[in-house]
A = this chain, B = another copy of it.
């Protein structure tokens, strides 16, 4: 499924609910927000995006706990769940998506190889998170992560 097709499907789902989206991106670095706003009329359903590349930005803009970053690191289930909660709290959005991963070529740590990406989707009522391990170089990892983030949000909305 192409990125544009997946994003158009997501747009329809959000417009049907009159919902707005916020993005909270680390390893995808704005790629999800850029894909969303590539579509004309996206202001109807896209509220805002946070590109929180540094740990400081994750804490300051998305209220990720310092203890979370210290104990389990930025590339973790707990971090992406806190990023979603922070994005919803600090915006006018009804739902948010978060990514944190290791796009490479550097940054791998034991147990977290390059290509490891954590995702979370949801809001204060319902939250889903999962981890993926993508193959390929930095660009390939980021592209797969953007597509997975958007498809995962569509899937989350179908269950809601």
Contacts and interface: CB of A to CB of B under 8 A. Distances in A.
Interface stretch (A49-57, A125-133, A147-155): A49-57
A104 interface: yes
A128 to B, nearest CB: 23
A6 interface: no
A61 interface: yes
Interface residues of A, dominant DSSP: mixed
A60 interface: yes
Interface residues of A, number: 40
Nearest to A21: B53
Interface in A23-37: 23, 25, 28-34, 36-37
Given A40-B104, A41-B106, A43-B54, A48 B34 contact: no
A104 B25 CA distance: 25
20 contacts: A23-B51, A28-B34, A30-B37, A30-B51, A38-B139, A38-B142, A40-B106, A43-B54, A46-B53, A47-B53, A47-B54, A48-B51, A48-B52, A49-B50, A49-B53, A50-B50, A50-B51, A54-B92, A57-B91, A61-B90
Interface of A: 20, 23, 25, 28-34, 36-38, 40-43, 46-54, 56-57, 60-61, 90-92, 103-106, 138-139, 142
